[in-house]
Amino acid sequence: MRWLPFLSIFLILVFIGSGITGSYKESAHGNSDYGVKRDVTELSDYARGNCAHCHEMHASVEGSEPKPAGIGSFALFADNFNTAKTTGPYEQSDNFCFYCHGPSSLQVNGITNYDYSYTFGGANNATVNNILDAFNQASYHNLYDIWDFANKNNDTFSFFTSDSNPCVACHNPHIAKRNKANPGDPTFTAISLPSDHGNLWGDDDTERMDDYAAGYTYQAPYYDSNSSYEPAGDTIYDGSNMPDYVTFCTDCHNTSNQLPSHILGSISIPPRDSGAGVRYIDWDNEKHGKGAADGSVSLKNPYSNASGNKVVSCLDCHEPHGAPNAVLIRREVNDSLLGDTIPLDGAIATESSYCPSNSTYSGNKTLGYLCRQCHKDDNAFHPSLSENRWCIIHHNNSKKCGYSSSEVDDAPYVPEQCRECHLSGEGEGGGEKEPITCTCCHYHNAQNVYKFSGRTF
């Protein structure tokens, strides 16, 4: 009986209309001023926010079917998600959301969505301006992997079915709000915790970064000056105006979930570094999380001014949708653009990287361009030394590094044993040696790596 699915959708929408109308009308899609409005003749008289802009209850409107002709699950006007698309790049028809959140938007006047670096990070140059293009960058949250994981893990994603759209793993389209217009007010959050899809995440004051960091210190990065902070460019720096992205992200990225990856899972890496793919995240113990630093920490402002054990938010370093750098690394961090693009073999120790126990690889230390946004490289200690050079914090020897600092009291490696780790070069007086890929030693949950006892991240 083909009418049953449509009857079911009708009843659902009736329930939405009578039971949670207030929530939907307050959402970004349901708002009467800027909500959804498909730019087609057949729906021109339909109000903004009307369900019919996404859901088509009938085969036609006044004898004509609005573009694009077709129907998807949940009575949507097109297919919800193309499950045959296991990797990008994506096209508009691969994901229902891209019909409006893309460069050829069906929304009246289109929709502009800049990346996190621009909207909440203060980057003064806009690159991508829509969600589809954000996903079609060097790295991206793989939509098939999200769909596959959510579909197989009903304990967390109890609402998710094989017909669902991967975007709803993080967003509830009927309650998500328009945070881009209110960056300093998390009651306008656009996200829902995967394990609590029916509610917004970040709108309650117990769902903010300052609450997550209670007993520790959350210090927001600089926004566009040394007196303004993310996410709103104002003077608030304690995370009280920012959703708790750590709890949000670790609902999936934790020490229990083995997350699939069509990209990272196929990488061949040096034998010593066996953590290819999506790594486990242990933010309760990692040094960028609640784990305490076990020695001197040479940091740039504003972190050098922050007291107590510092906790970092995931989005201080990563984009949520896609990025021009590998592993979703932001293009702008702590009020400045990264000095170079970070490729995959700079962000993950691969066969084209160099780790001490694998003598055939060439070094790639481009990840250091992320690290130096907050941590001091040699140039930060002394301007005559090169940027993205890390001799002082590792060795702190004036003969080998060209400078030594009293600020560094726990440099871990003896500089006279260079060839045990480096492939070539003497490195004296600030000279260069073959670099070691940062992620040979520094990566999520890294500990007890190459002649070092303890956590290195």
Token code pair at residue 52: 């019919």
Distance CA 115, CA 113 (A): 7
Q: What is the pLDDT, as a whole number, of residue 3?
A: 45
Q: What is the pLDDT of residue 457?
A: 86
What is the CA angle 296-300-305, rounded to 5? 80
User: How far is it, in rounded angstroms, from Cα 57 to Cα 414?
Assistant: 72
pLDDT at 263: 80
* Length in residues, the chain: 457
Return the structure tokens found at 364.
């790639």
Nearest to 99 by CA among 115, 116, 76: 76
Q: Which two tokens stand for residue 107?
A: 């929304």
Buried b / exposed e over 381-399, threshold 16 CB at 10 Å, is beeebeebbbbbbbbbbee
Evaluate whether 363 touches 436 at the Cβ level (below 8 Å): yes
Its pTM stands at 0.90
Here the tokens at position 59 are 């085969």
For residue range 156-190, list pLDDT tens digits in order. Answer: 999 999 999 999 999 999 999 999 999 999 999 99
pLDDT tens per residue across all 457 residues of the chain: 444 444 444 444 444 443 444 489 999 999 999 999 999 988 999 999 999 999 987 765 655 555 566 677 898 999 999 999 999 999 999 999 999 999 999 999 999 999 999 999 999 998 999 999 999 999 999 999 999 999 999 999 999 999 999 999 999 999 999 999 999 999 999 999 999 999 999 999 999 999 999 999 999 999 999 999 999 999 999 999 999 999 999 999 999 988 888 887 655 554 444 444 588 899 999 999 999 877 778 999 999 876 778 999 999 999 999 999 999 999 999 999 999 999 988 888 776 677 776 666 667 889 999 999 999 999 999 999 999 999 999 999 998 899 999 999 888 887 777 777 787 655 444 456 778 889 888 888 888 777 778 888 8
pLDDT score at 267:
57
Token reading at 268: 């061949």
**Judging by DSSP bridges, how do beta strands 332-333 and 336-337 pair with one another?**
antiparallel
What is the C-alpha to C-alpha distance for residues 209 and 202, in angstroms, rounded to an integer? Answer: 9
Report pLDDT for 456: 87
